[in-house]
A and B are shown apart, each in its own frame.
Chain A
Amino acid sequence: MLKLGVPSKGRLMEQTFDWFAARGVRLSRNGSDREYAGAVEGAEGVSLVMLSAGEIPRELAAGRIQLGVTGTDLVREKLAGWRSDVVELAPMGFGHADLVLAVPACWRDCEDLDDLASIARDFRLSHGFRLRIATKYHRLVRAFLSAHEVADYQLVDSQGATEGTVLNHSAEAIADITSSGETLRANHLKVLSDGLIHASQATLLAGRAAAETPDLRAFADRLGIPRDLHAV
Chain B
Amino acid sequence: MIPRTAKAAVGRRILDAFTAAGAAEVAPDVLLPSATLLDLYGEDIRARAYLTTDPVRGEVVLRPDFTVPVVQMHMAGGADPARYCYLGEVFRKQDHGDTRPAQPRDNEYLQAGFELFSRDRRADAEVFALFHGILAPYRLSATIGDMDLILDAVAGLPLSDARRAILAHHIWRPTRFARLLDRFSAPVAPRHFAVNDAPWTGLRGVPEMDARIERLESHRAEPTLPAIWHKRLQRLFAVAGPAPEALDELRVLADHMPAIAEATERLAARLRDLGALGVDPGTIHFDASHGRQTMEYYDGFTFSFTAPGRADWPPVASGGRYDALTAVLGQGAAIPAVGGIIRPGLLAELDRC
- Chain B nearest CB, measured from A54 CB (Å): 19
B204 CB contact (under 8 Å) in A123, A129, A139: A123
Is A188 a contact of B173 with CB atoms below 8 Å?
A: no
A residues contacting the other copy or chain, number (CB 8 A)? 46
Indicate if the CB atoms of A129 and B39 lie closer than 8 Å. yes
Chain A residues near B95 (CB, 8 Å)?
A: 80-81, 139
Q: Are B195 and A108 closer than 8 Å at their CB atoms?
A: yes
Least Cβ–Cβ distance between B183 and chain A, in angstroms: 9
A80 with B199, Cβ < 8 A, contacts A119-B204, A149-B170 known:
no
Are A118 and B212 in contact, with the CB atoms below 8 A? yes
Cβ A151 vs Cβ B204 within 8 A: no
Q: Are B43 and A153 in contact (CB under 8 A)?
A: yes
Within 8 Å by CB of A122, from B44, B97, B193, B212, lies: B212
Residue in B closest to A170 when the chains form the complex, CB atoms: B203
A80 partner residues in chain B, CB cutoff 8 A: 95-96, 100
Interface size band for B: 35 or more
Contact indicator B47/A142 (Cβ below 8 Å): yes
State whether A146 touches B47 (Cβ < 8 A): yes
How far is it, in angstroms, between the C-alpha of A166 and the C-alpha of B212 when the chains are bound? 20
CA A131 – CA B212 in complex, angstroms?
A: 15
Q: A152 at the A/B interface (Cβ < 8 Å)?
A: yes
Please name all residues of chain B whose beta carbon is closer than 8 Å to the beta carbon of A96 when the two chains form the complex.
Answer: none
Q: How far is the CA of A74 from the CA of B204 in the complex (A)?
A: 31
A113 nearest in chain B by CB position: B176
Asked if B103 is at the interface of the complex by the 8 Å CB criterion, the answer is no
Q: How far is the CA of A32 from the CA of B238 in the complex (A)?
A: 69
B218 smallest CB distance to A (angstroms): 13
C-alpha gap A138/B45 in the complex (Å): 13
Residue picked from B38, B176, B194, B216, most chain A C-beta under 10 Å:
B176
Let me know if A167 is at the binding interface, CB within 8 A: yes
The reply to whether B212 and A109 form a contact with Cβ atoms under 8 Å apart is yes
Residues of chain B at the chain A interface (Cβ within 8 Å): 38-39, 42-44, 46-47, 95-100, 166, 169-170, 173-176, 179, 193-196, 198-204, 208-209, 211-213, 216
Chain A residue nearest to B206 in the complex (CB): A106
Contacts of A83 in B (CB 8 A): 98-99
The reply to whether A127 and B209 form a contact with Cβ atoms under 8 Å apart is no
Residues of B within 8 A of A142 (CB): 43, 46-47
Asked whether, in the complex, the Cβ of A108 is within 8 Å of the Cβ of B173, the reply is no
Contact of A84 among B44, B100, B170, B174 (CB under 8 A): B100
Q: How many angstroms from the CA of A189 to the CA of B43 in the assembled complex?
A: 23
Beyond A118-B166, A122-B208, A151-B173, list 17 extra A-B contacts (CB 8 Å).
Answer: A76-B98, A80-B96, A80-B100, A81-B96, A104-B200, A107-B209, A109-B212, A121-B166, A131-B204, A142-B43, A142-B46, A143-B97, A150-B176, A153-B42, A155-B46, A171-B202, A190-B198
Q: Does A82 have its Cβ within 8 Å of any Cβ on chain B?
A: yes
CA distance A63 to B321 in the complex (A): 48
- Cβ of A169 < 8 Å from any Cβ of B? yes
Given contacts A83-B99, A106-B201, A188-B199, contact A151 B42 (CB under 8 A): yes
For A154, list chain B residues within 8 Å (CB): 38, 42-43
A105-B198 contact in complex given A122-B208, A127-B203, C-beta closer than 8 Å? yes
For residues 156 through 211 of chain A, which have their beta carbon under 8 Å from a beta carbon of chain B?
Answer: 166-167, 169, 171-172, 187-190
